[in-house]
Amino acid sequence: MLYYFLVQKEMQLMTGKTENYSWIVARGMNYLHHYSPPIIHRDLKSSNLLVDKNWTVKVADFGLSRLKRETYLTTKTGKGTPQWMAPEVLRNEPSDEKSDVYSYGVILWELVTQKIPWENLNSMQVIGAVGFMNQRLEIPSETDPYWTSLILSCWETDPQSRPSFQELLEKLRELQRKYAVQNQAQRNASAAAKNSIIEE
């Protein structure tokens, strides 16, 4: 599971895979949300993302999932993991698929920072901080602004202001194109420098 690599501090093995993993998870969630009726995961977190020997990620553990038959889904079970849960879920308010988007934002934060969310707070403290004090995880200042913007959009206080997974996939495509151009420019510069040395 993805969480294992975070806990074991083995994220260096995944260098360059952040965009790929983000894309795979978003694509899987987009499929669930476009199912008829839509399936809301409700417990999306890094420990529910399985990583196989080929570094392929799969969304797992649908124990708390529900079919969305109306506009909102309300639950009184109180189950889930606060560190990844949306504010409205922590307050036990009506929620829909946009709550999964918030949880996805926490996973993006994990991939970008290689840290564990709210590591120094217990569950009740997280509920108070996120659910009632509107606090969010700190994003390091050196983080690529594009990732920062993407994560913050998933954490909007108003659930309906958060992007859908379809919109997130489009943004991730833009990010992939951006990195592809940067990587190609770096390869061209490296090749030019090597040719210059050979000619000398």
Angle at 42 between CA 107 and CA 164, to 5 degrees: 65
Query: Could you read off the pLDDT of 79-107 as tens digits, one per residue?
Result: 578 999 999 999 999 999 999 999 999 99
* Residues above pLDDT 70, as percent of the chain: 75
- The question of whether 43 is a catalytic residue gets the answer yes
Q: Where are the alpha helices (DSSP H) in 93-135?
A: 98-113, 123-126
What is the residue-averaged pLDDT of the chain? 83
Exactly one of 43, 100, 144, 158 is catalytic; which is it? 43
More confident call, 148 vs 39: 148
Residue type at position 125: Q
What's residue 101's pLDDT?
98
Tell me the mean pLDDT in the region 50-63.
67
Report the run of H or E that residue 49 belongs to, with start and end: strand 49-51
pLDDT in tens, 173-192: 998 888 888 778 777 777 76
Task: Examine the pLDDT at 77 and tell me if it is beyond 70.
Answer: no
pLDDT band at 73 (very low <50, low <70, confident <90, very high): very low
Asked whether the predicted pLDDT for residue 64 surpasses 80, the reply is: no
The reported pLDDT for the residue numbered 85 is 96
pLDDT of residue 69: 41
Judge if pTM exceeds 0.85: no
What does the pLDDT read at residue 145?
94
pLDDT at 70: 42
pLDDT score of 68: 43
- The answer to whether 145 and 152 have CB atoms below 8 angstroms apart is no
Confidence grade of residue 130 (pLDDT, cut at 50, 70, 90): very high
Question: What are the start-end ranges of the E strands in 55-167?
Answer: 57-59, 66-67
> In 17-56, which positions are buried (b, 16+ CB within 10 angstroms) versus exposed (e)?
ebbebbbbbbebbbebbeeeebbbbbbbbbbbbebeeeee
Are the CB atoms for 144 and 35 separated by under 8 Å?
no
| Least confident residue range of 2-6, 27-31, 126-130, 139-143 | 2-6
Query: Which domains are assigned to the chain?
Result: 2-199 (1.10.510.10)
Residue with tokens 């290689």: 114
pLDDT tens figures, 131-176: 999 999 999 999 999 999 999 999 999 999 999 999 999 999 998 8
- The residue among 63 and 92 whose pLDDT is bigger is 92
